[in-house]
A and B are shown apart, each in its own frame.
Chain A
Amino acid sequence: AQSVTQPDIHITVSEGASLELRCNYSYGATPYLFWYVQSPGQGLQLLLKYFSGDTLVQGIKGFEAEFKRSQSSFNLRKPSVHWSDAAEYFCAVADLNDMRFGAGTRLTVKP
Chain B
Amino acid sequence: DTGVSQDPRHKITKRGQNVTFRCDPISEHNRLYWYRQTLGQGPEFLTYFQNEAQLEKSRLLSDRFSAERPKGSFSTLEIQRTEQGDSAMYLCASSLTREDTQYFGPGTRLTVL
Contacts and interface: CB of A to CB of B under 8 A. Distances in A.
B99 A99 contact: no
Contact of B104 (A41, A43, A96, A100): A43
B2 interface: no
A44 B45 contact: no
Interface class of chain A by DSSP: strand
Contacts, number: 50
Contacts of A4: 42
A46 B102 CA distance: 8
Interface residues of A, number: 23
A101 B4 contact: no
B106 A43 contact: yes
Contact of B101 (A41, A49, A97, A103): A49
Interface-centre pick from A51, A90, A101 (highest chain B CB count, 10 A): A101
Nearest to B42: A101
Given A44-B43, A98-B33, A104-B42, 18 more contacts: A4-B42, A32-B99, A36-B104, A43-B3, A43-B104, A44-B93, A46-B101, A46-B103, A90-B43, A97-B56, A98-B45, A99-B43, A99-B45, A99-B102, A101-B42, A103-B40, A104-B40, A104-B41
